[in-house]
């Protein structure tokens, strides 16, 4: 994973962790590393996040704990290059993150794509609670029809408070980090931010003594 890089693995991982865990710009991370005596350009740090965030997140998925069978599904808005994009997310009854997907449009096909991803990675739920979104309702019905399944749909805004509160944590991190200029960069960075959030929720099988140590163990 780290072959061909001029900097040691420990420095690269620390820089990536700083960016994903805290509300810092790339220049902030550059300054923090310079205090430690490490001279590295912020553009290099950005490339590290772009490359390693999805790779570490992929390893996390192999060791992710199972989630419950009752989900809360919703979408929120993320600004990329001045335009709104849509982040579909789901949590279970206990608030554990089920899955996420950043899409360019808010429509039934986007919601259906997210649902397929979530079920592929986490198994089929018994029930999904949603708000009054027609796209989400249509996506679940389409999945049921095509896969001969019987996922129950429940529409109760009050019960979706769990996922809406979780949205706020993710959005706050992104807004404080000064946003995104490219969709692919947003997609990869959000994957890393979501992974750190799941580590903090103790969703890793056999976690280490701290979130940082759990993070670095995924790149072993």
CA of 175: how far to CAs of 25, 52, 81, 82, in Å?
10, 21, 13, 12
Tell me, yes or no, whether 198 lies in a domain. Answer: no
For residues 178-198, b (16+ Cβ closer than 10 Å) or e, as one string? eebeebebbbbbbbbbbbbbb
pTM, two decimals, is 0.91
* Same-domain check for residues 39 and 89: no
For residues 82-95, b (16+ Cβ closer than 10 Å) or e, as one string? eeebbbbbbbbeee
- C-alpha atoms less than 13 angstroms from C-alpha of 8 in its C-beta half-sphere: 6
* Same-domain check for residues 76 and 176: yes
* Same-domain check for residues 115 and 172: yes
CA–CA dist 201, 185 (Å, integer): 24
pLDDT for position 101: 96
List, for residues 1-37, the tens digit of each pLDDT value: 788 788 999 999 999 999 999 988 899 999 999 999 9
Q: Quick one: which of 142, 106, 101, 98 has its CA closest to 124?
A: 98
CA–CA dist 38, 46 (Å, integer): 16
* Same-domain check for residues 167 and 94: yes
Q: What is the total residue count of the chain? A: 220
Tell me, yes or no, whether 192 lies in a domain. Answer: no
Q: Is the pLDDT of residue 46 over 90?
A: yes
Q: Which two tokens stand for residue 200?
A: 């903090």
Domain of residue 212, residue span: 9-63+204-217
Q: How many domains does the chain contain in total?
A: 2
Q: Is the pLDDT of residue 117 over 60?
A: yes
Largest separation between any pair of C-alpha atoms in the chain: 59
């Amino acid at each position: 994973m780290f072959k061909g890089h001029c900097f040691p693995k420990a420095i690269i991982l620390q820089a990536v962790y700083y960016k994903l865990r805290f509300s810092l710009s790339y220049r902030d991370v550059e300054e923090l590393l310079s205090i430690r005596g490490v001279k590295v350009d912020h553009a290099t740090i950005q490339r590290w996040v772009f490359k390693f965030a999805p790779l570490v997140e992929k390893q996390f998925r192999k060791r992710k704990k199972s989630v419950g069978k009752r989900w809360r599904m919703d979408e929120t808005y993320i600004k990329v290059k001045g335009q709104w994009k849509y982040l579909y997310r789901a949590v279970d009854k206990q608030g554990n993150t089920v899955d996420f997907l950043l899409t360019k449009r808010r429509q039934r096909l986007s919601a259906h794509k997210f649902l397929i991803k979530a079920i592929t990675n986490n198994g089929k739920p018994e029930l999904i609670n949603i708000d009054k979104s027609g796209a989400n309702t249509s996506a679940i019905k389409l999945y049921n029809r095509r896969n001969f399944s019987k996922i129950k749909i429940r529409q109760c805004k009050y019960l979706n408070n769990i996922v809406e509160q979780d949205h706020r944590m993710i959005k706050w991190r992104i807004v404080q980090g000064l946003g995104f200029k490219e969709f692919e960069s947003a997609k990869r960075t959000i994957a890393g931010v979501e992974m750190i959030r799941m580590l903090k929720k103790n969703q890793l099988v056999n976690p280490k003594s701290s979130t940082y140590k759990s993070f670095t163990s995924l790149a072993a």
